Amino acid sequence: MRPSAQTFGRARLLLGAATFAFALLASISTASAREKRAVGPYAVEVGRFVEPAYLNSANAVFMEVVDTHANAAVDHLEKTVQVEVIVGGAVARRTFNFESIPQEAGHYQAEFIPTAPGDYTFRVFGAIGSTKVDERFESGPGRFDPVVSNSSLQFPRTLMTTTELAGRIDQLQLIAVAGLVLGLAGLFVAIAGLLAKRR
């Protein structure tokens, strides 16, 4: 028995509903990866541009600014607002400039490549109009995620992280220094032996 037109119609309806639900969940997931707060008359939303954030993969700090009084996006903040990216408990920090995202009013990004896993803090500071800004946005539940390793996605070979590579280089340097010391010690013993024979 062939499926009726009504059956096909129901299948299409279910497929459409499932697609809509998936898109809704995806949008909720994206929104939850950023944090929004009021800063004077402005709503400032900050988070990662790409989630999840993988180690040694290009990413960016995302920022959206809206004037809540005028209900309008705020442009031209590239020269007045910056972001300080802080790793863990201030193990390392660096300031980046925001750039406006083309065709997206009030949206900005500060590109960087995270080279250490774990929690990050984005300190957004400067001025929006006459309003001073100095806000810290920290990774965590309900906000943006920490940086994680992408080793499970690497194929066919798993690459060393920068930390592992630095450890390997330190080991090689230690071996080289030990070899040099042993070589000099052997040379010293040989010279001492020759001098003793001449006597």
- Give this prediction's pTM: 0.66
For domain 33-150, the CATH class is mainly beta
Around Cβ 145, how many Cβ atoms within 10 Å? 17
CA–CA distance, 31 with 34 (Å, rounded to integer) = 6
Going 105 to 106 to 112 to 117, the CA torsion angle's sign is negative
Residues in contact with 150: Cβ distance below 8 Å, sequence separation at least 6, in sequence order: 54, 55, 56, 57
Break the chain into its structural domains and give their ranges.
1-32, 33-150, 160-199
Residue 11's pLDDT band (cuts 50, 70, 90): very low
% of the chain beyond a pLDDT of 70: 73
Q: Looking at per-residue confidence, does 27 or 139 come out higher?
A: 139
